[in-house]
Amino acid sequence: SRALPAEQWMHLAVVACGDRLEETLIMLKSAILFSYRKIRFHIFAEDSLKPEFDKKLRQWPSSYTKKFEHSIYPITFSVGNAQEWKKLFKPCAAQRLFLPVILKDVDSLLYVDTDVLFLRPIDDIWRLLKQFNSTQLAAMAPEHEIPKIGWYSRFARHPYYGMTGVNSGVMLMNLTRIRNTQFKNSMIPTGLAWEDMLYPLYQKYKNYITWGDQDLLNIIFYFNPECLYVFPCQWNYRPDHCMYGSNCKGAEQEGVSVLHGNRGVYHDDKQPTFKALYEVMRDFPFQDNLFQSMYYPLQLKFLETVHTLCGRIPQVFLKQIEKTMKRVYEKHVIVHLRSNRMYY
């Protein structure tokens, strides 16, 4: 598999600290279940989690382990004061700001938070890289669809991108472009390289930021809007998109593509639809039939959530994953038929 040309790989990065081991493994499982091309996982983790990650990933069946390779890296901050960065947000989350600097040999990358689940092939979001114009080097979804109930438009004390800011929980990056770009900024009249900009930017705004590195990314793209490709909300679907009533049009039309269970919703009872998807993905035995062991249990769980605002729109959650399963099933049937035909 090493012989694959570099551009054939899809690269997925995640930063896992504290009690995020299980969540991260379920996210990686959802990525590998539906993907077509091979994936290289870049896992940034505290030292204590490394042996567990290695052990668990090796326990997956060989039909899946052959679809990926993984590297585990220690948490490191390449510029400025490491202790300051560590305090910036949840443990270790500022790590994602340093990915262009650390992964020097990687051209492009999809970064996700640990609480993300893929409901369709990661290949589909990877394809968005091809839609970047000549100045775009990263892609994120809006933080909110409606400015008057969005966090940034109501509370932010620093510049942010567009009308509502962007959410960095699902972030597609062309790292080569990021490394080669001079970014406009509010500190000096000329451009700064990504690596040279991070610490002065943090120093300037640290008393005004609430969401750590996501706020820094919003500040960067406020000054460099031409560098950002904004993808629609179904690629980063959060409780905010349904807990005040459904406000993500893209998800209503084609279903949720990437689920982002922020606010800890996989682990409490506030949003049972999100928790249902997480638990079904967690409990799915790798080799089983997707419809029998994932889709039907999911439908049953969803019947119990109709009393909640998010549960009123089950088709939004189920439409895309059902389509994905049909694609996977058809692919298996075709492959199976081909291999049988060889014996006639």
Instruction: List pLDDT tens digits, range 143-194.
Output: 998 877 777 877 788 888 988 999 999 999 999 999 999 999 988 889 999 9
- Cβ neighbors of 4 (< 8 A, separation 6 or more) are 38
Structure tokens belonging to residue 261? 């269970």
Bridge partners for 39 per DSSP: 10, 68
The Cα 116–Cα 112 span in angstroms is 7
Q: What residue has token string 């005004």?
A: 208
Which residues, 6 or more positions from 337, have their beta carbon under 8 angstroms from its beta carbon? none
Helical segments of 212-343, H only? 213-223, 249-254, 272-283, 290, 296-303, 314-341
pLDDT in tens, 31-56: 999 999 999 999 999 999 999 999 99
How would you class 127 by CB atoms within 10 Å of its CB: exposed for 0-12, middle for 13-18, buried for 19 or more? exposed
Residue 310 CB: number of other CB atoms within 10 A? 23
Q: Where are the domains of the chain?
A: 10-231, 234-342
CA angle 110, 111, 112 (to 5 degrees): 120
Rounded CA-CA distance 39/67 in Å is 7
10-231: in CATH 3.90.550.10 = yes
Contact between residue 270 and residue 179 where contact means Cβ atoms under 8 Å apart: no
Tokens of 280: 């079904």
Count CB-CB contacts under 10 A for residue 292: 9
Q: What tokens does 219 get?
A: 């500040």
pLDDT in the model for residue 5: 58
Q: Are 69 and 144 in contact (CB under 8 A)?
A: no
Look at the block and give the residue holding tokens 């039907």: 296
229 bridge partner residues: 139
State residue 312's pLDDT score.
93
For residue 189, count CB atoms less than 10 angstroms from its CB and return exposed for 0-12, middle for 13-18, buried for 19 or more. exposed
For 243, which DSSP code?
B
CB 65 within 8 A of CB 57: yes
Count how many residues are written for the chain.
344
CB 32 within 8 A of CB 40: no
Task: Report the C-alpha gap between 101 and 79 in whole angstroms.
Answer: 10
pLDDT for position 1: 43
Structure tokens at 28: 């990686």
Q: For residues 166 and 228, give the distance between their C-alpha atoms in angstroms, rounded to a whole number.
A: 10
**Neighbouring C-beta atoms of residue 6, cutoff 10 Å:** 10
Per-residue pLDDT tens, the chain, 344 aa: give them.
445 555 589 999 999 988 999 999 999 999 999 999 999 999 999 999 999 999 999 999 999 999 999 999 988 776 667 777 766 655 576 788 999 999 999 999 999 999 999 999 999 999 999 999 999 999 999 999 887 777 787 778 888 898 899 999 999 999 999 999 999 998 888 999 999 998 889 889 888 888 778 999 999 999 999 999 999 999 999 999 999 889 999 999 999 999 999 999 999 999 999 999 999 999 999 988 999 999 999 999 999 999 999 999 999 999 999 999 999 888 777 766 666 655 44
Tell me how far apart the alpha carbons of residues 280 and 271 are, in angstroms, rounded to a whole number: 15
Rg (the chain; Cα; Å): 20
Please give the Cα distance from 239 to 246 (Å, whole number). 10
